[in-house]
Structure 1
């Protein structure tokens, strides 16, 4: 009976993520072999599954370490431990995505302003897209006429 009660507490604790508030759960072991449909994942199967002993851990890559330093979670790459919690990495990656999105928005606004400025300068000079198109067609037509003339001379 105690093992069923402990199992219910574990399920509730996982739902509310208050596992650290139940020290008896960390120490309890099943007293009987009760078969059920619920299987606890073994540490060999998936090391990212949250256990009763603590949070999930993540081994950061070189890129993740650079992101952690850039987001000021750590002062330099040497201070980053071999494993950090997945929660820390997720929060850092979210902040990184937001910062990159903000930088892209700023770059887009600057690009738009530059294009508006250059368009107004071209308008003052009298350049238009229609005029460019006409000039290009005239140039292509001249080149075509020259190629016909040279082809006629060769025959």
Structure 2
């Protein structure tokens, strides 16, 4: 198996303080670029409304990985699906991708909202979101992700 070593390029500052399944919307946080990267690496990013951010589930443990089929969130109403059908920390590399909205750029700080990573999360990579690089053709999925994620992007201030 090939090994791949990566270093974080930035860190999430503020925003969510604990891991939760739902009510991820409306929370502002900062993606702070590491000092080793010159500011010009961000030049022009403020012209984009959204980013594509790859990050690591840094609070997950290697023993959290589950290489078997299971029902999403342990809910027996939803079908048993394999490890690579889930988008959580139980996958081998414990990586996630999010598309937060970019609000403002101040030096090394990218102020974003709707980033579902917690304070202290290492950012592996970031790029502007290009519409042209999004899915081509019709997007299809079974019903269960829509049911499971019905409250995912609700405003965090509405959390019961």
Fold conserved (TM > 0.5)?
A: no
Larger relative contact order (CA 8 Å, sep ≥ 6):
2
Question: Higher helix fraction: Structure 1 or Structure 2?
Answer: 1
Larger radius of gyration: 1
**What TM-score comes out, normalization by structure 1 length?**
0.20
